[in-house]
Structure formats: C-alpha cells, structure tokens
Chain A
Amino acid sequence: MKISKYNICITLFILLCLVTAVKAVDIGLGWTLDTGIHARIGMFELQSVFGSDVSIYGLRLYPINKELSIMKKVFNFYSGIETDYVYSDVLDWGYTAGVFTGLDKAIFKNLHLSLDLGVFFSAVKGFEEFSDWGVAINTKLTWYIGGKK
C-alpha cells in the first residue's frame, strides 16, 4: 500500500486519540473466533473477520455492560448492536446487522473471553438481491491494555 502524508496524518491522529483515551476507557485488542481481529475502544469495537470467500468489516456497540454473579463467579453481562459490510467476489454488495447479548469473563489477567448470541439480518446482491435472517454465536478473546479492566 502506498504510504502518503494523508495516511500518516490519520494514523498519528488515531494514535493520539488512543494515548489520550487509554486511561479513561477500556482499550483492547483481540481475536475473534472465525478468523478475525477486533479492536475495542470503550463501548465501540471495530472488527474485521476475513476469509477467502467472504469477509466482513464492521462495528459493534456495547451500550449495556453489567456485572453479574453466576454461581459465585463474577461475569460481565453485555448487550449491543452490530453492523457489518460484507465483501465477497460473488457479490456486488452486502451488509448485515443485528443485536446480541452475552457474557464476558477474565480468564487470565487482562485476557477476557466473551460468548454472545445474536439475531442478525443480512442482505446481499448477486444477480439479484437476496436477504435472510438468522442466529449467530460469536466468541472473542480480548486483551485489555488499558482502562478499568
């Protein structure tokens, strides 16, 4: 990829934001099961889950986060919404959106494992438009590098 002044400025700006925000909000990087990566900043999460056939690029929003004790163990209960752009060679375009809810637990120091269940809708355009809905389970490992966690 060609590095331009424009790209450098954007990268520096993002880094600046991260540095200033690191003590105020949760920041984490992680691995999404199903071959993806994600970056968590506060209640936002950017994700990219890629494959040779289909890739998705999207944003998750976690507005609800509550501590929950189940069988004397403390979990973080969360709910949110997700929207993604779908890329595939066989598509002109595609998107998916949905709501999810799940549990998050620290398994080692700042390494968290989360599991959520969501209801999603997806619309894609090949020869013609096609859409369907369904259920998806998402599992993520996130290493929090700053913030409250």
Chain B
Amino acid sequence: MKNKVLIIFTITSLFFVSHIYSFQFGVGTRGFVKKVIEKGQEEGKIGKTKEEKEKGKPNTINYTGKLDKLDLSQAKYLFLAPKSTSTTSHSPAFKGTIYKADMAQTEKTVFKMKENGDIEEVNLYDEQGNRFDVNVYYIVKLSTEFISVALEIKGVWIVTTTTQVVNGSTQVVTTEQYFPVSQWQTSISTMGWGMDYSQYQKQYLVRLKDGAVFEGRYLPNDGNKKIYQDMYGNYYYIATRSNSVWWLDYNYYSLPGSEIVIPEGSLLKLNTKDMSVQVVSAQGDIISQAPEYTNDSPFVVDKYGNIAYLTYSGVYKYRKTTATVDGSNIEHKGFYTYPYGYSYLPPIVDINRDGIYLIDRVEWSDLLRVRKVRCNADTLYEIEESSSTGSVSWEVLNSLSYSKILSIGDKEISLLETTSGKIIFPTIDLVKATTSYYYEVNYSTFGIDYNNFGSGFLGYEVVSSTEVYVLIKTQGQQSGRYRYTFYAIYPKKERIEKVFYTEKYEPSQGWPLFSVDENGNIIITATDLDTGTKNVLKITPNPADPGNPNNISILQQGTVQIYYLVRVY
C-alpha cells in the first residue's frame, strides 16, 4: 500500500515539476511528443493545422502586443530584408543610396534586432491571439539622414478621414474605430466593387535616427525632403506623391467624397498631440524642389515653428507664428514675402534654429545679401529683420543657386559650387555678407582634357563638411577604355588625394552617382568591362596604392538587394 502511494505521488509530482522546470512530461512516449509539438506551436515554429503547414509560414510581419498604437517598443530596431537572404549579411551602411525595389521584391520580413545583435522575426497578434496579415511597404529614400518606411496593416482599424477648413487652412482630421479581426469579412483580394479600400488599411511610417513619430498617419515623403520638428512637437514636411506606395496617394490626396485635394508640393504640419495635419503653405503655393544634385531642402522651420520656403514666383515666403493662449502650442499667422535676386540659396536656418537666413545676389551686382528673420516670444511675436550686403566674387555669386551647403554654423556657412572649369569652396560670413574663406580646384588638376571627348568631371559626393569625393573620367591606358578616378578633396586643408582608380569597371552613371558609407567607403554600381557583369562595388579609399584591385570588394552581383535598418518608436 505504501509503495502504491509512493508511485502515485511520484507520478503526480512529475506533472508539477515539469511546469517548474522546463521539460515536457508525457503519459506515454506519444504523450511526450505531443507536448513537444504543442510547445513548438506556441512558439510559432510549427503550424497548428495541416493547411497552415502546407501554406507555409507567411512572409508577413508579426508582432506580439496591442495594435492600438503599434507599440513596437519591444522591437525598436526592425530590419527588413528579402526573406531568402541571410540576415547576417545586412549593412545599414548604405547611408547615401537606398534603391527603389521593384514590386516583385516587396515581400519583406520584419525582424527585431536584439541587444546582443541577434535578429529575430517579430510576431503580430491581436488580443484574441489572431495573427494579422500584414504587408510591409516602404517609401524608398535617397540620400542622407533618414529612411521612411510604411507598414500597412489590413483591417485592424477603420480610418475615417474628413477634410475641413479651419482658420482659412485646410485640415485633415482622422478618426479611428477598432475593428476586431473576428469581424473581418473581406480581404483585399476579395474587395467588391464600390467598397472603400481605405477602410481596410492603416499606414504607419517610421523614421531613422532623428526620432520622429508618425504612427497611424499618412506621411508621403517620397522625395526624401527634410522633415523639421518645432519645439512643440509638430513636424513639417512637403506633401509628395509616392510612386512606390500608391495607396498613400489614394488616401491622402484623393479623399473619397471630397472635392478638396491637397496638392503635391504643399507644406504640411503634423500636430503629434492630436495627429491632425494642417497645410501651412499659402494656398496655391507649390514649394519648389531643390535641385536633385544639391539635395538641399527648399524649406526650413526654426524651432519656434516659423517657416520659410522658396516659391516658383521669385520670392521667399515666410510665415510667422504666434503662441496659443495657453502657450502649449503655436498658431501660424500671416505670410510675408521677400523677393530674391538672380541667384540665391534656399532658406537656411542657423545651427541653433533661432532664426532664418535668406541669402541671394542683389540684382546683377557683385553684392551678396544676407537677411535674417526672427519671430518668437523675445520679439513679442513680431518679425525682427536684419540685413547686410557685402562684396563677393562673381564666381561665387553666379553659382549660388547650384550650391551644395556643406555646413551651417551660427555665423557662417560653407558651400560647394561647381562651375564650368572648377570646383569652389567658399565660406560666407553671415554677419558681414562676405567671403571669409575660399578654396578652388581646377578640373585640369585632375588631368581632364576637354579636347578629348568623354573626358570630364562626373560628379561629387559629400563625405563630411570637411571632405568631398569627386569622380573623374579620363582617357585610359588601354585603347577604348576610360580611367575612372576618385579624388578626396579636403577644402579646409587645401589638400587633394587620389584615393582610387580603375579601368576595369565602368560606373553606372545614374543618380546618385555613388554613395559613401559610414566608414568612408565608396559604394557604386559598375559594370565589369571584362565580363559584362553589373556589380555593386565597395571601394576602400587607399591613397597609398589607389590602383590596387584589392581596394575593391563586390557587395552584390546582378540584382541589387538593399537592406534597411529602421528604428521604430
């Protein structure tokens, strides 16, 4: 009797011990195996039904948590990559070049990057444990500071967008209603005629590096124009149509049942307190895009929320702000216009974002004009304007409109300008409106022979405010081939270095011409002239031995696959 009690006690205790210590307890070997399978199913590694197994694990993003704000705090770093690609070969180093993937490559998976560097897939379920069908879209970006990504979640929330006119400005107000998955009756593929597609989707946008939060709102910014934030938490950006994310256009610009359409090129303010969007540029103003090769923003916003932008009509437009009665936010007030001359820079905000500078050439003179406009509580929300003019060389003035801003300080800005015969690096004193520093490099320095067709200066890329790479094409040693040479220019040190050259590869002369990663390596798409293969090359600058083929490593042959490292807030 005592033995039987002992056996029953032992068996019973195994049930409890297995819960305390992580092992499976089964009555019979089959019972044990069933427990193992059930645990695998809980972890999402095994399908729950035969159909699920046959369908295979979907390439959708998943996330465990509530969906009301897509709180991805557990997954701050999301890594999007083609499903078939090893997740260990990613590189967030494509600072300058993010390619637009074609639609066939939009199947992406979202991963969480853990603190130890491991990457795991993120799962998304609702509170009832239903898994969401989520597609990942992204708005492709070119150049510098951030990458925007749009995630589409089908059928989680109904998003109702209405447009109204408030204080003379068009406002888009969005309300949302939770729509449980259990009530889903329609998938996108079975949408009937006349059904409102927009009610079955919701977009999220996230940004890299600078902390902007755009969840649950549409933020088309396909042109990669800069987004500013004011001290009240409002964001400013240009409404841009998206070629890659067509549904952003659908929802944002062509509101069903509304005749009011926000034109592309309008400047928008996103109020993150109530997630409302307001058009803050003047009605009818289309903000001119800065030339692609300078990539400077055509508008600026200071920290008080005053805005200035370039218009096609030959004026800078400035809109001042006034604090709200409770002081917690701002209201945008009247517009002020400032004509610009025959060459000009886009509006510039100083490094402290205290005031906005308008810099242009006075008519056909050799005078540079610098106007500074301020408006904040210190000025009692009245415009405070100061202006100075100074004599500057005609070369600097002539190329002003095609300048690349290398750095902005509180008293000066450094520029890069390309002329027909040289690259010049002027620094403008913002107080005196004169040139405080000047350095120039003639193209002949690089061995360019303008009598030789095809020889020339192909372009540049800014590495930092003190370093610029240029790409030069000259006649090669081998008949019928050209030599492509990268030089590094250090304008403040007045120094030039040949960092790499090749006759084996021919760069694809698209835009951007090439990119520079975070370690100063050159990333370029080029064709191997010996084999005819198109490659993505990483070139390590090597002034000591610029012709060494070992300076090249091939990142990708054939189709370009690009990886994104995205921070989600």
Contact = CB atoms under 8 A, between A and B. Distances in A.
A135 B33 contact: no
A6 interface: no
Nearest to B57: A127
Given A130-B45, A134-B23, A135-B23, A88 B28 contact: no
Given A54-B37, A132-B23, A135-B23, A124 B46 contact: yes
Interface string A74-110: 0000000010101011111010101000000000000
B30 A54 contact: yes
A15 interface: no
A96 B56 CA distance: 24
Contact of B29 (A82, A88, A89, A91): A82
Given A71-B3, A122-B36, A134 B45 contact: no
A134 B46 contact: no
A146 interface: no
Interface in B13-67: 14, 18, 23-37, 39-41, 43-50, 52-53, 56-57
Contact of A96 (B14, B33, B52, B57): B33
B30 A36 contact: yes
B173 interface: no
A76 B44 CA distance: 43
B37 A34 contact: no
Nearest to A97: B29
Given A54-B34, A90-B50, A134 B24 contact: yes
A60 to B, nearest CB: 9
Interface in A36-78: 36, 49-51, 53-56, 58, 70-71
A14 interface: no
B11 interface: yes
Given A71-B3, A131-B36, A134-B36, A34 B28 contact: yes
Contact of A86 (B26, B33, B41, B48): B33
Contacts, number: 132
B36 A124 contact: yes
A56 B36 CA distance: 13
Given A71-B3, A90-B52, A56 B30 contact: yes
A39 B382 CA distance: 97
Nearest to B23: A134
Contacts of A16: none
A121 to B, nearest CB: 9
B42 to A, nearest CB: 10
Nearest to B44: A127
A107 to B, nearest CB: 14
Contacts of B26: 134-137
A137 B27 contact: yes
B37 A90 contact: yes
B50 A96 contact: no
Contacts of B24: 122, 132-135
A135 B32 CA distance: 7
A130 B33 CA distance: 11
A55 B44 CA distance: 21
Given A49-B29, A55-B30, A126-B45, A88 B37 contact: yes
Contacts of B49: 89-90
Most buried by A among B30, B37, B47, B53: B30
A114 interface: no
Nearest to A132: B36
Contacts of B53: 89-92, 126-127
B435 to A, nearest CB: 64
A33 interface: yes
Nearest to B49: A90
Nearest to A121: B36
B31 to A, nearest CB: 6
A142 interface: no
Nearest to B47: A90
Contact of A136 (B32, B45, B48): B32
Nearest to A123: B36
A114 B39 CA distance: 29
A51 B23 contact: no
A31 B11 CA distance: 21
Given A71-B3, A127-B46, A130-B45, A136 B34 contact: no
8 contacts: A89-B53, A90-B46, A90-B49, A127-B46, A133-B24, A135-B23, A135-B26, A138-B29
Given A89-B53, A90-B41, A138-B29, 17 more contacts: A49-B30, A51-B30, A53-B34, A54-B33, A56-B29, A58-B29, A96-B32, A96-B33, A96-B36, A122-B32, A130-B36, A132-B23, A133-B23, A136-B26, A136-B31, A137-B11, A137-B28
Interface of B: 3, 7, 11, 14, 18, 23-37, 39-41, 43-50, 52-53, 56-57
Interface of A: 32-36, 49-51, 53-56, 58, 70-71, 82, 84, 86, 88-92, 94, 96, 98, 115, 118, 120, 122, 124, 126-139
- Closest CB pairs A-B (n = 5): A126-B46, A34-B28, A134-B24, A130-B40, A89-B50
